[in-house]
Amino acid sequence: MSGIVFDAATFRRLSDRFLSRLDDASGPALRRLAADTIAHTARAWPVDTGRSRAAWSMALQEAVTLDGQRYHEVIVTNPVSYAPLIEYGTASTPAGRYLQQAIRTARRDFLRDFSRTARRAWEGR
């Protein structure tokens, strides 16, 4: 009778190594996601004085859920008071949706790039 031999200890060791590599790669990947989001937004953002375009910033923080699960959170902000009016519009001005489009673009690129990272981590590279 032929069959597949499953070594649980080896599998556990390899999967732990994979998860560790993936965890190590997630921080830089999320920072790149935030930076790409800001870059895409700034390129499309309308400019008068350049003040609101230059005010975009990002932060990456680690958070913990109530049940102890750790996760990373990306925060992209623009503290200029009229930035929401540009993004979401007013009664007389249509919404620009520049940030929303940039998030969609950056998320698509992130998923593509991170899947490559995950594959390399699984292969041990």
User: pLDDT over 90 for what percent of the chain?
Assistant: 38
Read off the pLDDT of residues 41-84 as tens digits, 9 standing for 90 and up. 999 999 999 999 999 998 888 888 888 888 888 888 999 999 99
C-alpha to C-alpha distance for 125 and 111, rounded to whole angstroms: 19
pTM of the full structure = 0.70
- Cα distances (angstroms) measured from residue 107 to each of 19, 27, 31, 70, 77: 21, 15, 12, 20, 17
| Alpha-carbon distances of 38 from 4, 61, 69, 124, rounded to whole Å | 49, 17, 28, 32
Structural domain boundaries of the chain? 16-118
Q: First vs last Cα of the chain: how many Å apart?
A: 35
Q: How many other C-beta atoms are found inside a 10 Å radius of the C-beta of residue 89?
A: 13
- In the predicted model, is pLDDT for residue 4 greater than 80? no
The Cα–Cα gap between 19 and 109 comes to: 21
- Residue closest to 75 by CA, chosen among 105, 30, 107: 30
In whole angstroms, what separates CA 49 from the centre of its chain?
29
Res 68: pLDDT: 85
Bridge-partner residues for 58, per DSSP?
76
- Reported as a pLDDT band with limits 50, 70 and 90, residue 2 is low
